[in-house]
């Protein structure tokens, strides 16, 4: 009996600690990661697309290299007192090909120095992975005769950004020592530094949740709709036309509406409430929420803090006080990034 009780207590403790570490998320401004160990695979540790297994939001190990940065951390994303029907953003992006589609999906994820920051997440994705994550059939990804429109509704829950990293910011002792020992001209010392303390730090992030849908078109219709929405703007096109453009008559394929966090409750709600009927057709459309205050206000409550919706990383250059060492760090890092981007 005793043994069992103790084990239970121990398990509860472990569990509580596990939860706390997750709650803490290690997603904090100023903390750093080594982009190279994760390049192509970041979606395994940053919740940006639905994942079956769990409720973690961010499980990437991050390192505290700066000291006393907290005073420069401020809430971001209009945490205004005004009550909004929907605290977030409705966004539509036209994509001429599947590459642009991935780029659009990761529009709000930036890594300083990377030309193609979305590859940090998608470099390892096969066409099947892309298709599954974006809710469309992979045949549209592998062929180049299709264009896409990504529509996304993002709910913001928590946002933090650094106003600045002052020049005289303190470093953790071990980090300062490592930099002291670094030699300008020695590539190895930069590599060692990056392996130990990272290449980039989190400058800002926003968490929350989003729902999104990809519409697939042939080039003709795509161009027509793009031109129309470009000249008039989405709010000047009447809803009937809008629903036509984003319905089965114009679109080659209507993707499934996905929930970024993979939350099943939200998925079920979407399946039930964002369905449209048009003559013989019945289909899901995220356009249904456009301008619909009742739906938006429900979604405002339904979308919780379960995924990362924006992330901005900057290089660790500010850790280097000595201008020569800083320049050397930036040069080596820049070359590595180029190599990585070419090879993956």
Ligand X SMILES: *[C@@H]1O[C@H](CO)[C@@H](O)[C@H](O)[C@H]1NC(C)=O
Return the number of the residue (6 or 55) whose C-beta is nearest ligand X.
55
Q: Within 122-161, which residues bind ligand X (CB under 6 A)?
A: 132, 137-139
Query: What's the rounded Cα separation, in Å, for the pair 132 and 89?
Result: 24
Confirm or reject binding of residue 304 to ligand X (CB under 6 A).
Answer: yes
8-state DSSP, 46: B
Return the number of the residue (206 or 302) whose C-beta is nearest ligand X.
302
Beta bridge partners of 315: 200
Query: Least distance to ligand X from the beta carbon of 249, Å?
Result: 17
If binding means CB under 6 A, how many residues of this protein chain bind ligand X? Answer: 13
Query: What's the rounded Cα separation, in Å, for the pair 298 and 309?
Result: 19
Query: Least distance to ligand X from the beta carbon of 289, Å?
Result: 16
Q: Which of 2, 52, 115, 238 binds ligand X (CB under 6 A)?
A: 52
Query: Least distance to ligand X from the beta carbon of 264, Å?
Result: 7
Q: Within 246-265, which residues bind ligand X (CB under 6 A)?
A: 263, 265
Query: What's the rounded Cα separation, in Å, for the pair 103 and 85?
Result: 29
Tokens representing 3? 């043994």
3-state helix, strand and coil shares in percent for the chain, rounded to the nearest 5: 45, 25, 35
Query: What's the rounded Cα separation, in Å, for the pair 170 and 178?
Result: 14
Query: Least distance to ligand X from the beta carbon of 131, Å?
Result: 9
Q: Which of 194, 266, 313, 333 binds ligand X (CB under 6 A)?
A: 266
Helices 187-197, 323-343: crossing angle, 10 deg rounding = 80
Return the number of the residue (206 or 332) whose C-beta is nearest ligand X.
206
Query: Least distance to ligand X from the beta carbon of 293, Å?
Result: 19
Give yes or no for a contact between 344 and 200, defined as CB atoms under 8 angstroms apart: no
Binding site for ligand X (CB under 6 A): 50, 52, 55, 132, 137-139, 263, 265-266, 302, 304, 306
């Amino acid at each position: 009996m005793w043994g069992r009780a103790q084990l239970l207590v121990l398990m509860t403790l472990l569990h509580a600690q596990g939860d706390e570490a997750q709650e803490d998320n290690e997603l904090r401004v100023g903390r750093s990661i080594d982009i190279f160990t994760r390049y192509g695979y970041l979606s395994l540790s940053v919740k940006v697309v639905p994942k079956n297994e769990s409720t973690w939001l961010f499980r990437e190990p991050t390192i505290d290299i700066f000291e006393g940065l907290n005073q420069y951390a401020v809430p971001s994303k209009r945490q205004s007192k005004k009550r909004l029907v929907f605290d977030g953003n409705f966004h539509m992006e036209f994509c001429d090909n599947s590459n642009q589609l991935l780029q659009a999906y990761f529009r709000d994820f930036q890594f300083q120095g990377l030309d193609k920051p979305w590859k940090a997440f998608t470099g390892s994705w096969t066409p099947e992975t892309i298709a599954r994550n974006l809710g469309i059939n992979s045949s549209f990804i592998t062929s180049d005769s299709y264009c896409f429109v990504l529509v996304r509704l993002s709910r913001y829950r928590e946002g933090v950004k650094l106003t600045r990293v002052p020049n005289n910011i303190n470093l953790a002792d071990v980090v300062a020592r490592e930099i002291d020992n670094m030699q300008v001209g020695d590539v190895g010392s930069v590599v060692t530094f990056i392996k130990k303390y990272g290449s980039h730090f989190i400058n800002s992030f926003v968490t929350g949740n989003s729902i999104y849908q990809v519409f697939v078109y042939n080039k003709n219709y795509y161009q027509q709709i793009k031109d129309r929405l470009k000249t008039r703007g989405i709010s000047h096109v009447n809803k009937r036309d809008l629903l036509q453009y984003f319905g089965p008559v114009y679109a080659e394929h209507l993707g499934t509406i996905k929930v970024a966090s993979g939350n099943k409750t939200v998925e079920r709600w979407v399946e039930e409430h964002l369905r449209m009927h048009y003559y013989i057709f019945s289909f899901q459309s995220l356009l249904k929420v456009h301008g619909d205050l009742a739906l938006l206000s429900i979604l405002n409550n339904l979308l919780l803090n379960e995924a990362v919706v924006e992330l901005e990383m900057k290089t660790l250059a500010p850790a280097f006080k000595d201008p020569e060492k800083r320049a050397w760090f930036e040069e080596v890092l820049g070359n590595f990034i180029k190599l990585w981007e070419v090879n993956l």
